[in-house]
Amino acid sequence: MTGKAMIWPAVVAAFLAAHNTLTLATVDENGLPAAAALFYAEDSTLNLYFLSEAGSGHARHITQQPWAAVTIQADGQHWQNIQGLQLCGVVTKVSGAERVTAMRIYGRKHPFLQPLFRGEKGPATLLAALRTATFYRLRPCWLRLIDNRRTFGYKESWQFPCEETPLDDHED
C-alpha cells in the first residue's frame, strides 16, 4: 500500500470480500464516459487490484486521467435487499514489489490463476491474456455503502485524503 493507512468499517471489508467483480468508470480524452466489468481483489487497506490489457480503452483513459469511479453489487437483488458500494479514487499501474504483492492478493481471491502466476501450464486463452495484462491499483478516496436491508435508501459515506489530488466533498 502507498500513502497513509486507511481505516474502513468492517462492513465494507466484508462486502468487498464477498464479491469479485467491479464496474470501472473512466473518461476518455473527449470527455466521454466508459465502463468496464473487471475481476478485482482487495488488500487489507481496501486498495482494489485489477488486471487489464494496457491497450484497452479504460487503461488508456487511466493513463490520461487517473481518477475513476467504481460500483460493486450483486445482480438480481430484490429492492428491499439492495446492497452495493460506490467508490471514487486514483488508479495507477502496479510494478516492482507491489506487482508481486498484487499477484499474491489477486491469486488468493481468484485461485484458478495461481498456477499461471507461478509460470505453470494452463489454458492457452488465459496464458495469452496474462502475457499482455498489467496490474492496476485503485486507491479509494471516497466510498459509499448502500444497504436497503437497513432501511430504504440507506447510505453511509466515508472520505479519505488522496495524496495525488485533493477530493472535494463528493456528491451523487
Write the pLDDT tens digit of every residue in 113-160. 888 888 888 888 887 788 889 999 999 999 999 999 899 999 999 888
**164 within domain boundaries:** no
**74 within domain boundaries:** yes
Indicate the helix (H) or strand (E) that contains 143.
Answer: strand 133-147
Please indicate whether residue 6 or residue 164 has the higher confidence score (pLDDT).
164
Residue 53: which domain range? 21-159
Whether the predicted pLDDT of 6 surpasses 60: no
Band (pLDDT 50/70/90 cuts) for residue 60 is very high
How high is the pLDDT of residue 127? 79
Number of separate domains in the chain: 1
**1 within domain boundaries:** no
**13 within domain boundaries:** no
**34 within domain boundaries:** yes
How high is the pLDDT of residue 128? 77
Q: 86: domain CATH number?
A: 2.30.110.10
Whether the predicted pLDDT of 37 surpasses 90: yes
Band (pLDDT 50/70/90 cuts) for residue 59 is very high
Whether the predicted pLDDT of 171 surpasses 70: no
125: helix, strand or coil: helix
Band (pLDDT 50/70/90 cuts) for residue 169 is very low
69-91 pLDDT per residue, tens: 999 998 888 888 899 999 999 99
Nearest C-alpha neighbor of 65 from the set 77, 76, 75, 57: 57
- Give 140's strand partners: 89
Please indicate whether residue 68 or residue 167 has the higher confidence score (pLDDT).
68
**14 within domain boundaries:** no
Rounded mean pLDDT, 42-62: 93
Q: Within 10 Å of residue 126's Cβ, how many Cβ atoms?
A: 14
**55 within domain boundaries:** yes
**117 within domain boundaries:** yes
Whether the predicted pLDDT of 164 surpasses 70: no
Burial label for 78, CB within 10 Å (0-12, 13-18, 19+), is exposed
Cα 44 from Cα 118, distance rounded (Å):
23
